[in-house]
Copies of this chain bind each other. A is one copy, B any other.
Amino acid sequence: MTSSAYQDLSARQQRLYRLAHLQAIAQWDQAANMPAKGNEARSLALAEMDGLLHQLATDPALAGLLDAAATEPLDDTQRANLREIRRAWRAANALPQALVEAKSLANNRCEHAWRTQRPANDWACFAPNLREVLVIARQEAELLSQSAGLSKYDALLDQYEPGMRSADIERAFAPLRQWLPGLIRDVTARQSRETVLEPVGPFPTAAQKALGLDAMKLMGFDFAAGRLDESTHPFCGGVPEDVRMTTRYREDNFLPSLMGTIHETGHGRYEQGLPRELLGQPIARARSMGIHESQSLSFEMQLGSHPAYAGLLSPLLVKHFGDQPAFEPGNLHKLLTRVQPGLIRVDADEVTYPAHILLRFDIERALIEGQVEVEDIPALWDAKMAELLGLDTRGNFKDGPMQDVHWPAGLFGYFPCYTLGAMYSAQWFAAMRAQQPDLDAQIARGELGGVFEWLSEHVWQEASRWETPELVQRASGEALNPAHFEAHLRSRYL
């Protein structure tokens, strides 16, 4: 039997997938376990592997194989996979290996130093590292932009949300800019008239850990194929066969960690739910960062802020912390849907969250397009926080522009995906309700299987078979429609 060009390409993808597995575990370990003196060697090891993966992904033989495979008789799955192989190949070939390695080093160094600089509020030492990361990100954007015929920021954005342009985002975000400030005002005014009982702590870390594991069980996480650990910035890493989620704990307040864990569980189940028989091929990868966030937000917000969800969580809180009046489901629902402008994005409620994204989207686009510099960030941040949320962040870098891992890690173009994800998730639930009119009654009965099955069938199992617009159309019967998000917020909060 002679091997076809497609088979050759497919075997090469399998090889990349296996090597990237080691990279994913080492990156998770770097955030969750690694002691300080291990960082230099780890950064060098990750950079070496980045370079090697890049070398394999840019093997000159690939161009011919891709062309040859296109003329072979392939079934639909193979053809979709070939499209994704070509997409990855085009992206990899836009960057020279030296830049890939320099990027890995600069990002690793900046991110590692950030872990101690952030608690120390040390903007002065952080800024030069971030400048190095930005210089490389701009070079990357320039090269990608030339190869794809896109603007510089759009070229970075395309890596996280293939097919989306800043113009599309601006189109979805423009109504948001209009109605968001008014909605925040109306909701906070309405909630200021409500009485909410505060949970009384402290909430020991060990009890919070056990609660988090129970919440993951409620949300169907497979513990034989993943685990939960701690890191400074919560994330969901690892590989589909072994998902590594992290969270962080504050003993005075368990809600950020609990809801963060439920959020990451959405990411984790997407990965665990990808089509196993295709794992290793690009068609089996999660579709995009926006679609990924649509899963975490389906878990954290569509379910988490559902009026019936508090009834499912309440017994778990009583189990791990003992009973107290604040855990009564009606009060718990108020706690889970409390809207309050705050400094920290990852702790934000779903109404003010988009304001954090508008701010970051505006700043990072200007950074990449060269309209502003790292030195300008604090003043821009202060101005936009005052304008969007009425908060003063002057001099408070650690809760301002130093709060996120994204920029230190060089992830420019990622932020808008969070709000795209919020919009997609509202659209999923609108579609689910249309197909399953008793959906809310199911949730009230603690039967979440209907939600998980819908997500599995329409999103997880589809993986990267379709490009994003087609996935959205097939799953929900219409293109991205930001009106669902507005309707969701108005119905839940007003």
Contact = CB atoms under 8 A, between A and B. Distances in A.
A123 B37 CA distance: 43
Contacts of A225: 35, 37-38
Given A19-B45, A45-B22, A227 B37 contact: no
A173 B225 CA distance: 47
Given A19-B49, A45-B21, A37 B222 contact: yes
A213 to B, nearest CB: 13
Nearest to A23: B22
Contacts of A440: none
B35 A48 contact: no
A15 B18 CA distance: 19
Contacts of A33: 227
Nearest to A279: B41
A241 interface: yes
Interface in A221-242: 222-227, 239, 241-242
| Size class of the contact patch on chain A | 35 or more
Nearest to A38: B242
A132 interface: no
B38 A239 contact: yes
Contact of A227 (B35, B48, B49, B242): B35
Given A19-B49, A21-B41, A241-B40, A224 B35 contact: yes
A52 B20 CA distance: 13
Nearest to A242: B38
Interface string A29-70: 100011111101110111111001000000000000000000
A359 B248 CA distance: 49
A48 B18 CA distance: 7
Contact of A242 (B18, B34, B48, B224): B34
A256 to B, nearest CB: 25
Contacts of A239: 38, 41
Contacts of A37: 222, 224-225, 241-242
Interface string A255-290: 000000000000000000000000100000000000
A380 interface: no
A479 interface: no
Choose among A21, A36, A222 the residue with the greatest number of B CB atoms under 10 Å from its CB.
Answer: A21
A439 interface: no
A18 B35 contact: no
17 contacts: A18-B47, A21-B44, A21-B45, A22-B45, A25-B26, A25-B42, A26-B26, A33-B227, A35-B223, A35-B227, A36-B224, A37-B222, A37-B224, A38-B242, A40-B241, A41-B241, A41-B242
Given A37-B224, A37-B241, 6 more contacts: A18-B44, A18-B47, A35-B242, A38-B226, A40-B241, A41-B241
